[in-house]
A and B are shown apart, each in its own frame.
Chain A
Amino acid sequence: MREPLIRSTEDRIIAGVCAGLARHLNVSVGIVRVGMVALALAGGAGVLLYIWLWLLVPTAADEALAAERAFNPRDIAENFARGFGASGANRDGNGQAGPPGRRPVSQPLPQPGIPAQNADGTGTPRLLQRGGKEILIGAALVLAGGAVVAQIAGINLPWGTWLPVLAIAAGAVIAWMQLDDSRRSGLMDRAGATGAQGAVRLLAGLVLVVAGIVTMVSGSITWEAMWPTLFASLAVLAGVLLVLAPWVLKYWRDLETERSGRIRETERAEIAAHLHDSVLQTLALIQNRAGSEQDVTRLARAQERELREWLYRDKRQEEGKLVDRVKAVAAEIEDAYGHPVEVVAVGDAEMTDRHEVLVHATREAVQNAAKHAGGGISVYVECTPGRSEVFVRDRGPGFELASVPPDRMGVRESLIGRMERHGGQARIRNTGSGTEVHLSLEHPQEGTAS
């Protein structure tokens, strides 16, 4: 593997271009520098190439920043922690070296000791992400233009003309080379030229525009004079494009950094707002009620449930289905009685009128457990195609159905009677260390999702 083309921040005379180039091409720095000076003497091509590379080639710090931006945090909590860490670092960096009036978010960490005029250079990594293709086209056009100019001048490709042209082309190619495959393909996608359709559209547009201009101009000038003029204009145009492109690209990139910074900012604000509305309020309440153990437990438990739902929600679980409804019931009773209710669910089912009955019966069973048994309550929901079951288990003293007086309607009516009227089943049994209510509903013809 070849070293990536990165400007050196340690070994440098102006901007570290030569050292970076030397490492990339695996030759000694001295040779590159001498070559660069020689090119500079050959009609100033070296100077052009140097400035070009300076603007286009990122430094190691830029690369690190880009890598960090590409990092995809695993969950909200980590994202949250990272957000705060990164903002701290950013603030430090700007406070240290950023002159006033500079955009605070878009600036990469300034390197201490970099000369002031270099600050612009540091802010231009990966310019080629956008528009690298255009640069290549520009370079090719300049090359063609140079050839035409040479032909017109009647000189057979003298070195004085060729060297600068070649140098510019080489610069563009080298900068292009450092883009890896994924970046390159992303670029192609964006330019809309990957598909044959995009290419055809681009070509057709070009032909139309050129043909239009030619027709317009050809009225006053003869065709013989036309062609050289056309080529010369094209060459000038391409040259202007070539010079302006990096600046435009740099501007775009700044905009992009600022936008991503703003997105991060919004994300953090949203998290802060959520924490404020929920966690901070609850903590304040807990401090107020510190005397009552039951209140504190209940508040803590409700807050835990809410936060957990927000952070770890199973994305496949849909709202409004059976499991969601049972969880809502459990939360409600947990809040009302202060006993933790743990819901474990396997599969899920669409709500129907009969499932509505199942949810009601579940509420009754959980409420009974909370009222009479206390302590932790386990709820287990299992849905398979054709069958939904709910188990509600507590660790209370237990009771015998036979010993419940007939005038107590709760269990007999709400649970057993109701389930049986709707073709379901309710069984209550004493497990020896608590009571378990088993509710089941067969629904062979109804749509289910497991």
Chain B
Amino acid sequence: MTEPIRVVVVDDHAIFRSGLKADLDERIEVVAEAATVEQAIAAIHEQRPAVVLLDVHLPGGRGGGGAEVVAGCAALLGETKFLALSVSDSAEDVVTVIRAGARGYVTKTVSGAEISDAVQRVAGGDAAFSPRLAGFVLDAFGTAAVANVDDELDKLSARELEVMRLIARGYQYKEVAKELFISIKTVETHVSSVLRKLQLSSRHELTRWAVDRRIL
């Protein structure tokens, strides 16, 4: 048995925090909790956890919520990974926190086992995509493989599109791997690469998509 993953839980609802702690399995150790932006930034700097489970809507700070916490811990992004957690699945919330640097997004309604899986995936340096997030990616980058773009960041490869589509259709990583006859590791590589593009791309269509929804 390897060492448990050290996790900080950031959420302003104490009931939710204790419920989540009870739901997470034994691979995960909760080392600290925080309820506001300031508390979260302080706790993360003190504990240096592997993963932060981060609510998108948080009181305190300048009103930026989860994205502000990620921004406040920008120096630690190499060792600490952020997994966003929210009841909201609006494009505005999801894409804002992902572009701030979070490596995944899960909704609060999913089971403890699924959150534990996502934590482990994020701790391993991969990305945790929900069907909804995959839908946003496809919506933003377009569903057709684009031929004429200058920057490699600005388009998804045919394979990445396939992976995103399957995730949007409700497939889990291992089901995607089976469907496409590739290894889970390869699926994870594709998803991480999509995450990077989502975070870094300044592609015109992505910007317009975001502006339409008043995200950026």
Contact = CB atoms under 8 A, between A and B. Distances in A.
Contacts of B93: 312
Interface in B164-207: 165, 168-171, 175, 178-179
A400 interface: no
A384 B144 contact: yes
B169 A393 contact: yes
Contacts of A74: 63
A346 B139 CA distance: 5
Interface string A305-342: 00010011011100000000000000000000000101
Nearest to B90: A312
Residue among B109, B138, B169 with max Cβ neighbours from chain A (10 Å): B169
A375 B89 CA distance: 20
A358 B103 CA distance: 36
B89 A433 contact: no
B72 interface: no
B28 interface: no
B132 interface: yes
Interface in A321-378: 340, 342, 344-347, 376, 378
A391 interface: yes
B134 interface: yes
Contacts of A376: 170
A376 B132 CA distance: 14
A311 B56 CA distance: 15
B91 A314 contact: yes
Contact of B169 (A347, A378, A432): A378
Contact of A347 (B57, B89, B139): B139
A344 B130 CA distance: 10
A376 B107 CA distance: 14
Contacts of B112: none
A380 interface: yes
Contacts of B144: 384
Contacts of A436: 169
Interface string B85-108: 001111111000000000000000
A431 B175 contact: yes
Given A314-B90, A316-B213, A433-B175, A382 B170 contact: no
A382 B175 contact: no
Contacts of B132: 342, 344
B88 A312 contact: yes
B63 A346 contact: no
Contacts of A432: 175, 178
B143 interface: yes
A77 interface: yes
Contact of A380 (B91, B169, B178, B179): B169
A346 to B, nearest CB: 4
A344 B135 contact: yes
B131 interface: yes
Nearest to A348: B139
B131 A378 contact: yes
B90 A346 contact: no
B168 A346 contact: yes
Nearest to B174: A433
Contacts of A347: 139, 143
Nearest to B131: A344
Contacts of A315: 213
A78 interface: yes
A344 B213 contact: no
B213 A380 contact: no
A431 B213 CA distance: 35
Contacts of B87: 304, 308
Nearest to B133: A344
A312 B134 CA distance: 18
Interface string A255-282: 0000000000000000000000000000
B143 A380 contact: no
Contacts of A311: 88, 90
B150 interface: no
Residue among B170, B178, B212 with max Cβ neighbours from chain A (10 Å): B170
Given A314-B91, A347-B139, 19 more contacts: A74-B63, A77-B57, A304-B87, A308-B87, A308-B88, A312-B88, A312-B90, A314-B90, A314-B213, A316-B212, A344-B132, A344-B168, A376-B170, A378-B131, A380-B131, A380-B170, A382-B143, A393-B169, A432-B178
Interface of B: 57, 63, 87-93, 109, 131-132, 134-135, 138-139, 143-144, 165, 168-171, 175, 178-179, 212-213
7 contacts: A308-B87, A344-B169, A346-B168, A347-B143, A380-B131, A432-B178, A436-B169
The 10 closest A-B CB pairs, nearest first, are A378-B170, A312-B90, A344-B135, A380-B169, A346-B138, A393-B170, A391-B169, A346-B139, A344-B131, A344-B168
